[in-house]
Chain A
Amino acid sequence: MTNERWIKAAPWLWSIGLFVVWEAAVHIFEFPVYILPAPSDIWGAIVKYWSPIWKNSLQTMFTTLLGFLLAVVGGLALGLAIGWSRAIYAGLYPLMIGFNSVPKVAVVPILVIWFGIGTVPAVITAFLIAFFPIVVNVATGLATIEPEMEDVLRALGAKKMDIMLKVGIPRSMPYFFGSLKVAITLAFVGSVISETVAANSGIGHMMLSAQSQFNVPLVWAGLFALAVLGIVMYAIMAWLEMRMTGWAHRSGNRP
């Protein structure tokens, strides 16, 4: 095999290698299943509990995506506002820093008081945790317009709106799409946290119930389901980013 093909195969080889070592370690050291189940035990649990895992995965996916979409809309709007006006920036930035420094799990009890246990707190937690990186990135894109570019356009009589539409917003798009990768991962964290603390469904809730029944392989199966969901959502965002702002990822081998 050429070097190139080794590199292509590497992700698969390493992943398979990890599971093989894991499986072997469990058998050699004879870990009890409630400490560390072998991958084969976890696979067994996935097959056995496929129906609840699938149902709860859909629920988690749904809350994550809904929270994420709200974060995209809210983050984009706020980011543009902050990038637009220095007064809005000066006023809102400290507030946002303060807000962002509150761990979002601490907000869940308040959300439960307001909305009760269930889907709504999970969606809102996902939103709260995901929107900050979007705001910061969009605002950064707007704030880093080259002054020469601005001068060239202003000297032509361009209004602020023109500069935003022609330069600022297209310019901030790579930042925006880049932040989506971070935001979707965070939204996922938010919804699972909330499900674990206060929900009747979702992977987080399923793992908590499995734990209380000492069904350790199912807890791990939940973890795997989360990993798969996370990777899929991240990959979709990465694809979207390349698709929308390919010009920012220029390299020699692009057609």
Chain B
Amino acid sequence: MTGFVELRDVRLTYGGKADGTLALDGLSMSVKKGEFAAVVGPSGCGKSTLMKLATGLINPQSGTVEVANKEVSGPVSIAGMAFQNPSMLPWRTTLENVMLPLEIVQPHRSRLKSEKKAYIEKAESLLELVGLKGFGDKFPWQLSGGMQQRANLCRALVHDPALLMLDEPFGALDAFTREELWQVMRDLHGEKQFTVVLVTHDLREAVYLADRVFVMSARPGKMINERHVEFARPRPIDLTYEAAFNDIVHELRGQIADARAAA
């Protein structure tokens, strides 16, 4: 059985084949449908490149990328993306920002006008789910960083993507807000059952949220290990202070330290 997101022996060079930087080489990974996967690795190992590959923003020089059993050759519109920078548009209200993908992706795009009310309700229920009820008519700059990031998650999810790609979405937040958003993410995933690929450098975040953690080597990046995380769901946040949890974090930390040393 092949996975929902399937990368096979991918190789990618930036800036020309001959003298460019080899970002990824021989990278393979497979994420099952509905699974929460996290990718960790030393900095500069090509984690973000992985995101662009899986969403079809760039194509590999060799190897194949498949999403939902179809080879990816251009942007896949079944994906939602969120980055560390919430990149809300300042001239739109939070609700309008969240609804932006609906103006782009079919079939919502052509339905948006006639079923505006239903879509607004949907966006508002998403906002409520992440704890932003009543903030829809605020402008993004009236929200705190954590609230903007919540809205960013809503925007990534409003068109019901089957795949959610997250690139260090909680990296710029303070520790408390981050833990709050981990729980928001946990609940969103629990409720909607989409597939997630989370790129992060926070090992506790990876272990807390993911079913499986992939460890990448230093550049040129490839997968050197994958670790199943079998804690029962839904996971309470206190889990992150338990010994079994910390053992896994430690283990992953050791692997990344080795990968860095090998570089």
Contact = CB atoms under 8 A, between A and B. Distances in A.
A170 B87 contact: no
B103 A146 contact: no
A157 B75 contact: yes
A152 B82 CA distance: 7
B83 A158 contact: no
Interface residues on B, range: 20 to 34
Interface residues of A, number: 21
B143 interface: no
A244 to B, nearest CB: 10
- Secondary structure of the B side of the interface? loop
Contacts of A148: 83, 85, 87
B104 A250 contact: no
B76 A155 contact: yes
Interface in B56-99: 56-57, 75-77, 79-83, 85, 87, 89-91
A170 B89 contact: yes
A153 B104 contact: yes
Chain A contact residues: over half helix, strand or loop, or mixed?
helix
A156 B82 CA distance: 12
B172 interface: no
Interface in B133-153: 139, 141
Contacts of B77: 155-157
A248 interface: yes
B141 A156 contact: no
A69 B83 CA distance: 41
Interface string A169-201: 011010000000000000000000000000000
A154 interface: yes
Given A162-B104, A247-B139, A152 B89 contact: no
Most buried by B among A149, A157, A158, A162: A157
Q: Which 4 A-B pairs have the closest CB atoms?
A: A157-B77, A155-B55, A148-B83, A149-B87
